[in-house]
Structure 1
Amino acid sequence: MPGPRKELEKYWESDEFKAKSEKNKKNRAANTGGCVHRGGRITFAEHRRRMEVELGRPCEYPEVFKKIQHDEEKGWVGKRAANTYNEFERLKECQESDASISDSALWLQVVGGKNKRGRVYGLGTQAGLLNSNGTQCANTSGEIALLKKQLEEQKKFYEDRFEKVVESLQVREEEFRAREQRREEEFRAREERMDQK
């Protein structure tokens, strides 16, 4: 009775396994394959969260990509990373006049959008947080805090504006009542004069 080790050795010697092994070897060596990075076991999302805490502001995807794909001393981890980021920078310069396009939307354009599996090159699990138009959903505490702050500012602006409108209406109503009262007094005075004649 052959043991599991013998069965595995038999499988490893088969033509089917050798063909798969060769194919996978080529895929790993290709620049268009997976995403090599220097981020270790830390997820893209965690790198992004840490950067936002460190910098005190929300970070766009390309900024995090550069941090985990590029080393000041060693350079880029691979040609694909370098080419992708350089193309992003080139397009960003061309788009400087159009502030409506976010860096994340531009990144999605550079990498060709989501692949068949719904993944975006260089973003790890964050690809699921991109909307179809390339805008990102608020997903970090920094972004959520920023959105809350903006919402509070807008709320205060509209409350102040509403208060001013109410005050203005009250002033107009008082002026209207004062005018009506004067007219009524003038009308009574005329009536009294006419009655006296």
Structure 2
Amino acid sequence: MRMRSTSRSTLRRRSLFALVGVLAAMIAWVPTASAHGTIVGPPTRAYQCWQKWGSQHTNPEMQQQDPMCWQAFQANADTMWNWMSALRDGLGGNFQGATPDGQLCSNALSRNNSLNNPGAWKTTNVGSNFTMHLYDQASHGADFFRVYVSKNGFDPKTQRLGWGDLDFITQTGRFAPAKDITFNVQTSGYTGHHVVFTIWQASHLDQTYMWCSDVNFG
């Protein structure tokens, strides 16, 4: 009887150790699978809101000082906390067909819909030639970046961005895996508040990221 009891106890311990091992492996895998990036300069709408208000996201002064970030935090705070995860899988390069007008700034992700709303988004001052900066936690690299600027006459304060509102500026070549990727963008003829719309096609999988950055051309 004692031997059977000991055997059962040993089996239970072995089963428990095996379960713990499986759970540990699953947990260890999560950060690599979930880490991504965004354009931090000029900052995307979600990153700008997280950078300025993340440490004080319940501050009621945000409603008056930064109403667009306020409405975004009220709609879904996860939009800002997960500024690095605005991706979609398997578009196969069909960016326009898979992304309806008015949903470009959210990358057609419903949880990020507040980023599409027109209004007084805070802008970053840039010149006609400026540098784009991608920060990527997982160093995925890039097949390419496509950069567009909203057309003259488009008003980000009153209009949602559509494909017909964009001027294509440039498409880069490939970038090797790195946490920080920078490249130059050359424009002409823009003044005032415009939206810089960027598509990042990551290299490790068919993952597409799309963002809006609000800039003020001086």
| TM superposition score normalised by structure 1 | 0.26
Larger Rg: 1
The structure richer in strand per residue is: 2
Bigger proportion of residues as helix = 1
Q: TM-score, normalised by structure 2?
A: 0.24
